[in-house]
């Protein structure tokens, strides 16, 4: 684009150094009546500057400009102080919120597709049913419908002050993911969410739930059944580069609290003795890359084996670190969280429960009370699910959705199996997917009042109608470990 007028003049006069971040300005345009002024702009009756005064003024301005520009004030960002996460004013900040699960990283148990339980597998399932182009169109609409501005407004009104956002690394690459290969999608989706959260004054934690090569070795990392990340230099380099890109993009965004570098690394099914030794060095590598471009945000480090094993950590290596654990289906007594409290005391660092939940209202209430009493921030899993009481809001399963569920449960290992299992008509599948897109929108969701109150939140007066179709069971059956 061609610039004219004032823009063109500024471009000609201003030169920027790309070496030291300094800005050098050509002062040849300075006139006899002061810097960039004219007799009409001078004080009425004031004499012209002397040569000496002009020289002094020029020198003063040059000194101001040659000083590197400071980053936004540190107090604009959430920080840490000893064992506390602190708000920008330095006061303790107890995080209370939920995870936006099943949005950027779809999961089989929430799609009710059983063992077809990773994003790649779910996408293959839908592509087999309606074709890859139709599946891609579904995902495009899904990403726009599942989490909206209305959801964020509801969460703030209910009492949440923080949201954890699981994402798949492929959103920041040209690799195929959910039907497209757009490397800008991640920033497009997150920028929109940041705007909504900024308006509502609710914080965000960005969580790399699916890392290159797979960091967990289970469906949740959308990999290939093994934590190949820790054996692959290219995958580690890619994970590091993506985090550096994200940190560069959001370095000056205070709505984001920080970065959860790897979700639930190294499941317990593998050679823990060998793999666990590789975890903290990779954290240090990613952290070093982030700190090259971003000194403002917190780093959230999860332990090995579902984020629970903190013995993999040595002395804290970054001054803005929070250590995060996940736990499900335990008791609600203090001994459950004692190992993480001991770690907090030993190193005088904050700890945070990044995921818990998937239980009945009584358990949710009691465990939330336990965390509050120990002054541990939390984000329960998840915010929204289809036909479920164990979340803040739920939505109806479409009438024809059983067709998709039946196909997901059928053998599909060979093309002959796919042909045998595929429904005779695709119309029912199309209707089910269209209804899913409509049902999951906030205006069609129903709040689980008991669950919301168990979190210590309230059902906002302007929320949608209460859920009635999903009674709270005495005890929830375990689902696939997070």
Lowest mean pLDDT among 12-21, 82-91, 138-147, 240-249: 12-21
**H or E element, residue 167:** strand 162-168
Are 43 and 84 members of one domain?
no
Instruction: Specify if 481 maps to a domain.
Output: no
Q: Tell me: pLDDT of 426 over 70.
A: yes
More confident residue, 104 or 465: 104
| CATH of residue 104 | 3.20.20.80
Q: Extract the tokens encoding 183.
A: 């490397």
**In the Cβ-directed half-sphere of 43, how many Cα atoms lie within 13 Å?**
5
Domain that holds residue 158: 80-454
Q: Tell me: pLDDT of 59 over 60.
A: no
Are 28 and 93 members of one domain?
no
Are 299 and 183 members of one domain?
yes
Instruction: Specify if 348 maps to a domain.
Output: yes
Lowest mean pLDDT among 325-329, 436-440, 463-467: 463-467
* 3-class SS of residue 347: helix
Distance between CA atoms of residues 358 and 343, nearest Å:
26
Q: Tell me: pLDDT of 473 over 80.
A: no
Residue 448 is predicted with a pLDDT of 98
Are 211 and 300 members of one domain?
yes
Three-state SS annotation for 93-122:
CCCEEEECCCCCCCCHHHHCCCCCCCHHHH
| C-beta of residue 229 within 8 angstroms of C-beta of residue 235 | yes
Q: What do you get for the CA distance between the two ends of the chain, in Å?
A: 49
More confident residue, 157 or 482: 157
Are 116 and 247 members of one domain?
yes
Would you place residue 179 in the very low, low, confident or very high pLDDT band (cuts 50, 70, 90)? very high
Q: How many domains does the chain have?
A: 2
Residue 462 is predicted with a pLDDT of 72
Are 114 and 45 members of one domain?
no
Distance between CA atoms of residues 6 and 14, nearest Å:
12
Instruction: Specify if 272 maps to a domain.
Output: yes
DSSP 216: S
Are 171 and 36 members of one domain?
no
Q: Tell me: pLDDT of 445 over 70.
A: yes
Query: What's the mean pLDDT in 435-458?
Result: 98
Residue 472 is predicted with a pLDDT of 35
Distance between CA atoms of residues 44 and 51, nearest Å:
20
Q: In this structure, is the dihedral angle defined by the CA atoms of residues 42, 45, 51 and 54, taken in order, positive or negative?
A: negative
- Return the CA Rg of the chain: 27
Residue located via tokens 């965004």: 253
Distances (CA, A) of 226 to 142, 176, 214, 218: 28, 20, 7, 7
Q: Tell me: pLDDT of 233 over 80.
A: yes
Dump pLDDT digits (tens) for 17-27. 333 333 333 33
Would you place residue 463 in the very low, low, confident or very high pLDDT band (cuts 50, 70, 90)? low
**What percent of the chain shows pLDDT beyond 70?**
80
**What percent of the chain shows pLDDT beyond 90?**
79
Residue 39 is predicted with a pLDDT of 30
* 3-class SS of residue 358: coil
Cβ neighbourhood burial of 70 (10 Å; 0-12, 13-18, 19+): exposed
Are 103 and 60 members of one domain?
no
Residue 425 is predicted with a pLDDT of 85
Are 59 and 133 members of one domain?
no
Query: What's the mean pLDDT in 271-287?
Result: 97
């Amino acid at each position: 684009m061609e610039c004219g007028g004032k823009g063109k003049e500024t471009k000609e006069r201003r030169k920027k150094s790309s070496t030291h971040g300094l800005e050098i300005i050509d002062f040849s345009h300075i006139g006899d009546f002061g810097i960039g002024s004219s007799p009409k702009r001078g004080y009425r009756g004031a004499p012209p500057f002397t040569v000496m005064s002009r020289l002094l003024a020029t020198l003063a301005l040059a000194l101001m400009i040659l000083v590197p520009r400071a980053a936004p004030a540190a107090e604009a960002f959430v920080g840490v102080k000893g064992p506390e996460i602190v708000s920008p004013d330095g006061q303790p900040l107890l995080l209370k919120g939920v995870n936006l699960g099943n949005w950027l990283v779809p999961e089989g148990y929430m799609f009710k597709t059983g063992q077809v339980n990773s994003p790649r597998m779910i996408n293959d399932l839908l592509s087999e049913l309606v074709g890859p182009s139709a599946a891609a169109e579904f995902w495009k609409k899904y990403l726009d419908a599942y989490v909206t501005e209305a959801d964020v407004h509801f969460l703030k009104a209910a009492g949440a002050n923080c949201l954890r956002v699981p994402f798949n690394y492929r959103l920041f690459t040209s690799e195929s993911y959910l039907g497209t290969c757009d490397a800008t999608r991640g920033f497009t989706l997150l920028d929109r969410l940041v705007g909504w959260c900024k308006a509502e004054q609710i914080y965000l934690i960005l969580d790399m739930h699916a890392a290159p090569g797979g960091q967990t070795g289970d469906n949740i990392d959308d990999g290939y059944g093994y934590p190949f990340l820790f054996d692959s230099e290219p995958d580690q380099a890619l994970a590091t580069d993506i985090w550096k890109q994200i940190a560069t993009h959001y370095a000056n965004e205070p709505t984001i609290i920080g970065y959860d570098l790897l979700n639930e690394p190294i499941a317990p099914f593998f050679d823990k003795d060998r793999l666990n030794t590789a975890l903290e060095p990779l954290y240090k590598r990613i952290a070093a890359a982030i700190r090259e471009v971003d000194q403002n945000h917190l780093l959230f480090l999860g332990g090995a084996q579902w984020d629970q094993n903190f013995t993999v950590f040595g002395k804290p290596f970054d001054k803005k670190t929070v250590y995060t654990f996940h736990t499900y289906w335990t008791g609600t007594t203090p001994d459950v969280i004692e190992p993480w409290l001991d770690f907090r005391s030993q190193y005088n660092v904050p700890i945070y429960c990044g995921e818990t939940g998937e239980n009945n209202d009584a358990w949710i209430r009691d465990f939330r009370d336990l965390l509050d009493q120990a002054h541990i921030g939390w984000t329960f899993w998840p915010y929204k699910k289809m036909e479920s009481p164990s979340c803040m809001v739920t939505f109806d399963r479409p009438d024809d959705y059983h067709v998709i569920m039946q196909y997901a449960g059928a053998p599909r290992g060979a093309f002959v199996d796919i042909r045998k299992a595929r429904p005779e008509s695709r119309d029912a599948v199309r209707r089910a997917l269209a209804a899913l897109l409509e049902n999951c929108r906030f205006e069609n969701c129903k709040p689980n009042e008991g669950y919301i109150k168990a979190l210590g939140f309230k059902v906002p007066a302007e929320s949608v109608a209460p859920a009635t179709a999903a009674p709270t069971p005495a005890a929830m059956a375990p689902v696939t470990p997070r």
